[in-house]
């Protein structure tokens, strides 16, 4: 199933986790660490109160708001954070998750040293993967995995979704570090 189809079929929690996972993998561009988005992940669990997402999102924005400067990849990551819906309504979260998917793939495309042969990331999201650059391919796999895990395991899949995001965040942090060393 393509990424577009998985997003279309996801429930509200899966969509929120999908968008959050994309943002989480890109948090190194905003100067965040491994724990920056952990409170938001916690707010997706079964025991979380209705207002926890909103409160924790505002706290996260406060921590990362100063990171609005930088190159195009950092600006895309900042837009993901700013576009996060204050309330987790299914319609708003669906739009956000879809936009985060596109932005995250675009960020990985911008940072990849290998060229991606597709004219846009939309082709990748629809399942056309020939000539895909390695960094974009890995991000696409992570997005699909997060949605599949959550669809198959519900709230119990949150831990695995977070693990997938942590792995991706570390990869992107290494890419960002390498780029900054090359520029120096």
pLDDT in tens, 31-44: 888 999 999 999 99
Instruction: Answer for the pair 127, 150: CB distance below 8 angstroms, yes or no.
Output: no
pLDDT in tens, 155-166: 899 999 999 999
Point out the least confidently predicted range of 40-54, 55-69, 140-154.
55-69
Task: Please check the confidence at residue 68 and state whether its pLDDT lies above 60.
Answer: no
SS (H, E, C) the chain: CCHHHHHHHCCHHHHHHHHHHHHHHHHHHHCCCCCCCHHHHHCCCCCCCCCHHHHHHHHHHHHHHHHCCCCHHHHHHHHHHHHCCCCCCHHHHHHHHHHHHHHHHHHHHHHCCCCCCCCCHHHHHCCCCCCCCHHHHHHHHHHHHHHHHHHHHHHHHHHHHHHHHHHHHHHHHHHHHHHHHHHC
Task: Say how many C-beta atoms besides its own lie within 10 A of residue 35's C-beta.
Answer: 8
Instruction: Answer for the pair 85, 96: CB distance below 8 angstroms, yes or no.
Output: yes
66 — pLDDT class (breaks 50, 70, 90): low
Q: Provide the token pair at 181.
A: 């060393």
69 — pLDDT class (breaks 50, 70, 90): low
CA-based radius of gyration for the chain: 15
Note the pTM of the prediction, 2 decimals: 0.92
Q: Which residue reads 């990985």 in tokens?
A: 108
């Amino acid at each position: 199933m393509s990424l577009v189809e998985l997003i279309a079929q996801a429930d509200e929690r899966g969509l929120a986790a999908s968008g959050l996972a994309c943002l989480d993998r890109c948090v190194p561009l905003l100067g965040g660490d491994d724990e920056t988005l952990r409170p938001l992940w916690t707010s997706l669990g079964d025991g979380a109160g209705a207002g926890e997402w909103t409160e924790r999102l505002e706290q996260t924005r406060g921590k990362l708001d100063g990171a609005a400067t930088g190159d195009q990849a950092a600006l895309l990551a900042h837009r993901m954070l700013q576009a996060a819906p204050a309330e987790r309504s299914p319609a708003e979260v669906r739009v956000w998750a879809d936009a985060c998917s596109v932005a995250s793939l675009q960020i990985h495309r911008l940072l990849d040293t290998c060229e991606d042969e597709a004219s846009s990331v939309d082709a990748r999201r629809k399942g056309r993967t020939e000539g895909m650059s390695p960094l974009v391919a890995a991000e696409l796999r992570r997005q699909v995995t997060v949605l599949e895990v959550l669809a198959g395991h519900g709230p119990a899949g949150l831990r695995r979704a977070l693990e997938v995001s942590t792995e991706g965040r570390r990869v992107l942090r290494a890419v960002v570090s390498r780029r900054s060393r090359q520029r120096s």
